[in-house]
Amino acid sequence: MSQYTKEQRLKLLRYAELAWASYSTKLNEGMFGDKEKKWGYKEQRKYLTKQEAQKIHQVSYKRALTSNIFTFYNDTRVDFGDKQAEAFIHRYEILAFIDKTDSGFSATLFKDTYNNEKILAFRGLDIFRLNIAENPNIKGLGNSLKADIFANLCGYNRFLHS
CB 111 within 8 A of CB 96: no
**Who's near 46: CB < 8 A, 6+ residues apart?**
none
| Residue 51, in any domain of the structure | yes
| Residue 69, in any domain of the structure | yes
Q: Per residue in 90-100, pLDDT tens?
A: 999 999 888 77
Considering its fold, how many domains does the chain have in total? 1
What pLDDT is attached to residue 17? 92
| Residue 1, in any domain of the structure | no
What pLDDT is attached to residue 32? 92
Kindly report the average pLDDT of the chain as a whole number: 77
Residue 162 has pLDDT above 90, yes or no: no
| Residue 49, in any domain of the structure | yes
| Residue 58, in any domain of the structure | yes
CB 63 within 8 A of CB 47: no
What pLDDT is attached to residue 85? 92
| Residue 87, in any domain of the structure | yes
**Who's near 58: CB < 8 A, 6+ residues apart?**
26, 28, 39, 40, 48, 52
Q: Per residue in 10-61, pLDDT tens?
A: 999 999 999 889 888 888 888 999 898 988 888 767 898 889 988 988 888 8
The residue range of the domain holding 74 is: 6-160
Residue 137 has pLDDT above 80, yes or no: no
Cα angle 15-21-27, degrees, rounded to a multiple of 5: 135
